[in-house]
């Protein structure tokens, strides 16, 4: 009897261990892959507001996103059955960057696209404005540097306010490599004071050597209208990247000008924007088409360079959503202005 019980215990233990191993492999074991697919189609009027703008909008303007999920073995198998999903290697996205560096870069791109959208909308609406450097943003940190983190906002050096590369150069012009600099920065919403070692770097603007921190930085700028009533405020989002620029501009322009540009339509789209209103190509157009269709969009603005990809996906889906290729902001605005008001 004892021998039978031992055998039973042995097989039970083996079964449990085998089951645990299977669960680990299928669910918890990391893989070097990401699954890309449709993200969301989010209403921009909830994200941006002109201080004293015209916010009446029967329809809506929507930004579209791509979903990128870290994949376990089960998810990889299921994605093979989903024609709206695609598997890619993580490294194809990171290109040698760390996860934190990639995330910080996407945050910076989003902020930059918002600034460009404000400039393009102000220009189109004939609202005078000025550009003011705000702070220095860290988006890449070498492994040898343990002081800074991607996403840090540098505010002061040795008690001196810094807002761009030029002000950093001036604040450190008398400092030598090997010394420590007192840095005031913001990290995850909290103010910190740190001591950072200086090293010799090549200044990207002057081409000369000088003391610095050896981290990759960018200037974050504020766009300030002459008329404070036209000030634009963005709410924070968990979305990164530059591809919402066109749709941000459409919503801002609608609030800056009288009347309802949406005319009752659900308008989705994608595309980068520059201050002159030029619309640039983006990645993942085929996923964004699906996201917009799921939110019952009536039409979708797509960069002309992405139109072929978007059209092929729209035909595969059989969507009734109208695709409109654009090369500049004026193309999208003119299209909306010619539309009849939706009943």
Phi, psi of 309 (to 5 degrees): -65, -45
The catalytic residue among 184, 288, 313, 328 is: 288
Beta carbons of 112 and 247 less than 8 angstroms apart: no
Yes or no: say if 282 and 305 are a contact pair by the CB < 8 Å rule. Answer: no
41 - beta bridge partners? 64
Question: Would you say 119 and 187 are in contact if contact means Cβ atoms under 8 Å apart?
Answer: no
Residue 139 C-beta-side C-alpha neighbours within 13 Å: 17
Q: In the annotation, is 243 catalytic?
A: yes
| 269 vs 94: CA distance, rounded Å | 25
- Do the strands 86-89 and 60-70 form a parallel or antiparallel pair, or are they unpaired? unpaired
Residue with tokens 């040795």: 158
* CA atoms within 13 A of residue 224's CA, in its CB half-sphere: 8
Provide the 3-class DSSP secondary structure of residue 89.
strand
Contact criterion met (CB below 8 Å) for 325 and 303: yes
Q: What is the DSSP string of 230-286?
A: G-EEEPP-S--SSTTHHHHHHHHHHHHSSS-TTTT-EEEE--EE-TT-BEE--S-HH
Q: Give the phi and the psi of residue 100 in degrees, each rounded to 5.
A: -65, -40
Task: Provide the token pair at 264.
Answer: 């009752």
Spatial CA neighbour of 273 closest among 237, 304, 244: 244
Cβ atoms of 292 and 300 closer than 8 Å = yes
181/186 Cα distance (integer angstroms)? 16
Please pick, among 184, 243, 313, 328, the residue that the annotation labels catalytic.
243
Q: Which of 143, 213, 144 has its CA nearest to residue 179? A: 213
Active-site positions read 243, 288
């Amino acid at each position: 009897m004892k021998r039978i019980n031992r055998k039973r215990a042995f097989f039970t233990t083996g079964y449990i261990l085998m089951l645990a191993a299977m669960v680990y492999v299928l669910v918890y074991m990391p893989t070097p892959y990401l699954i890309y697919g449709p993200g969301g189609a989010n209403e921009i009027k909830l994200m941006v507001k002109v201080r004293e703008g015209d916010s009446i909008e029967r329809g809506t303007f929507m930004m579209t996103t791509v979903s990128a999920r870290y994949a376990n073995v089960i998810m990889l198998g299921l994605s093979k059955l989903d024609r709206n999903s695609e598997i890619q290697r993580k490294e194809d996205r990171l290109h040698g960057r760390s996860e934190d560096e990639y995330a910080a870069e996407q945050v910076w791109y989003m902020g930059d696209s918002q600034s460009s959208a404000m400039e393009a909308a102000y220009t189109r609406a004939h609202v005078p404005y000025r550009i003011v450097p705000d702070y220095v943003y860290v988006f890449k940190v070498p492994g040898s540097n343990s002081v800074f983190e991607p996403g840090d906002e540098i505010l002061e050096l040795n008690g001196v306010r810094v807002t761009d590369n030029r002000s950093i150069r001036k604040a450190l012009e008398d400092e030598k490599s090997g010394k420590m600099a007192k840095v005031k920065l913001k990290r995850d919403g909290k103010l910190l004071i740190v001591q950072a070692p200086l090293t010799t770097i090549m200044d990207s603007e002057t081409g000369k050597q000088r003391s610095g921190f050896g981290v990759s930085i960018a200037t974050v700028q504020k766009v300030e209208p002459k008329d404070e009533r036209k000030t634009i405020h963005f709410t924070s989002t968990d979305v990164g990247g530059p591809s919402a620029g066109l749709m941000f501009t459409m919503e801002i322009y609608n609030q800056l000008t009288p009347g309802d540009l949406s005319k009752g339509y659900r308008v989705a789209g994608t595309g980068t924007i520059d201050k002159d209103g030029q619309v640039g190509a983006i990645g993942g157009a085929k996923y964004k088409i699906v996201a917009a269709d799921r939110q019952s969009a009536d039409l979708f603005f797509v960069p002309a360079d992405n139109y072929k990809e978007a059209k092929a996906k729209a035909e595969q889906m059989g969507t009734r959503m109208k695709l409109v290729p654009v090369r500049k902001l004026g193309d999208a605005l003119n299209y909306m202005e010619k539309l009849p008001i939706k009943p």
